[in-house]
Chain A
């Protein structure tokens, strides 16, 4: 226990991270990115390859502090083939080997296409990418992703951008219990309390974007999330969540009569 407290890190693609807050960079002004990263204490930041792929005077890449690991995502991809091409482009743009697979063939809800995500994971993992697939929490698919070489699994908590929290809590719990890879809850987390709960459940990390972008003060909300995530992690390590969920032990054991 003591060890875990001192050195509670998690590993992705051979890199060790102490922060369990993966920050999104979309939907808010580029000028706020640096402050958000600092207040979040984030070591990983996602960015959309389609946003980075620009000649414009303000490139998002210029706003991300050095030393932060880039997690380019494949948003805009509608099938595995497109996701693979976007990931390769990210590598060419100098975004490194991490990639978050996002494949949507629905522009209304932006729900991930699990089948295509498995295919893309397989291809990209074999090309040496550290693959973090965004997915709809389905145990069978999570197992397929693990087998395909994913570095973590990123189930959605609720429809992306909805700030509705852990609508899929029971299914995420199954993934946490059954999958050996880090489970990073992505999409739908709208408030620090929800991030805290996911961490109490045993999630390895939290990814949030809209919750910050739509808040009144992006850096301050980033800090609130950081505190909530740290707090939830501590609670998980302390083992409180599970004990409470199963109720207190009776002081007079029901089975006390047994000899």
Chain B
């Protein structure tokens, strides 16, 4: 845990131009745990649902000791026809590192069996970057000094036009986490617009209550992504210092509330590197597995983001999870959940994404911007930087849709822009 602790303090920085009182409050939050709220206590208005999955995931995570597994355990796991929870623990352990190629072969076979050679392409669209949380590693955090922006209806539509013109058929709508700046109705408006231009509409916004998810489903949203960031509550408490996002259990149950609200699919992720990535990967996979067991019709998918440099703090790095480790995690995910979608974002390099699409990934983004309102300038040939808000993080792979399409085809894969009917 020592390494994690050091990384965490590396993440903290002071942006220029904060007022003395803001700085003082920020530093107090960082240094004095007693002035931070209880991360397990719900805030007014947060719905509680009857679900024991979070307790089971926490128990499984704290019981997991990756160092206990041996090469023999990994071999046994790889010899079994199906990969259960114990096999998953072995495959995520350091003992599995020398077996990476064998894991990749098995993972590839499972991916092909379930998805053939198809890879889906989508693009994220950030419509606002206002945020009321202080998460120390995030470019949007409320103590970072960035250009804040919220697109209005016309601007959202303009962005969607540009994206749709590129041929994209699936869009993922994102906001910073501010209920006041980006209300549920505002997000609903965006979904309705998106329905005009795209076949499939995903949401990656703040967690909300069941009735709000139901409302957004009615306005055109199909699936919901929520990153838990880390399933390790102690570490979570040290990284999410302020705001509604600090409430760990409310965030955990977001996918379940989304399914209760009628969403077709949900996506899960830990931001690997915030805590022990092996234990976080185990928790992510179990969270997805157990929720799918409870809601068998749910389409589930996993993401695998690593930390990236952010505005005003270019030194943010993924930590001890390198590409080999990330590949190991993704192979373990694939073997444990052969039917689940796996998304690899533009946080990763083009070469990594080309390679992993042949092993485990089923979905990649293209034509990506994590800023606000800049598709028109980046991909549409327009240039008006004053109408743009700052990015959440720096991307690593900036390929356009047509380039991604050609590259995947060149790798022998079949790019797919839509595999969905809205009924």
Contact = CB atoms under 8 A, between A and B. Distances in A.
Verify that A and B bind, or say they do not: yes
Q: Chain A interface mostly helix, strand, loop or mixed?
A: loop
Interface in A75-104: 76-78, 81-82, 85-86, 89, 104
A76 B419 CA distance: 9
Contacts of A9: none
Interface in A98-116: 104-108, 110
Contact of A55 (B167, B292, B300): B167
A56 B418 contact: yes
A214 B108 CA distance: 11
B418 A50 contact: yes
A57 interface: yes
Contacts of B109: 214
A54 B169 contact: yes
A84 B421 CA distance: 12
A3 B413 CA distance: 46
Contact of B116 (A28, A81, A108): A28
Interface residues of A, number: 34
A51 B296 contact: no
B196 interface: no
Contacts of A54: 169, 199, 417-418
A210 interface: yes
Contacts of B423: 77, 81-82, 85-86, 89
Given A27-B116, A55-B169, A213-B116, A107 B421 contact: no
A28 B419 contact: no
A107 B167 CA distance: 28
Contacts of A57: 167
B17 interface: no
B418 A53 contact: yes
Contact of A49 (B116, B117, B169, B421): B421
B215 interface: no
Interface string A39-79: 00000000011110111110000000000000000001110
Interface string A170-202: 000000000000000000000000000000000
A56 B418 CA distance: 8
Interface in B76-130: 109, 112-118
Contacts of A241: none
A29 interface: yes
A236 to B, nearest CB: 30
Contacts of B113: 161-163, 210, 214
A30 interface: yes
A107 B419 contact: no
Nearest to B421: A50
Nearest to A105: B297
B162 interface: no
Given A28-B117, A161-B114, A56 B421 contact: no
Contact of A50 (B298, B299, B409, B419): B419
Nearest to B265: A107
Interface of A: 26-30, 48-51, 53-57, 76-78, 81-82, 85-86, 89, 104-108, 110, 161-163, 210, 213-214
Interface of B: 109, 112-118, 167, 169, 199, 292, 296-300, 339, 409, 412-414, 416-421, 423
Counting from the closest, the 7 A-B pairs by CB-CB distance are: A27-B116, A106-B296, A105-B297, A85-B423, A56-B417, A54-B418, A50-B421
Given A50-B421, A107-B292, A107-B296, 5 more contacts: A27-B118, A76-B420, A106-B297, A214-B112, A214-B113
16 contacts: A27-B118, A29-B117, A29-B412, A30-B414, A55-B417, A56-B418, A76-B421, A85-B421, A89-B423, A106-B296, A107-B292, A107-B297, A161-B113, A213-B116, A213-B117, A214-B109
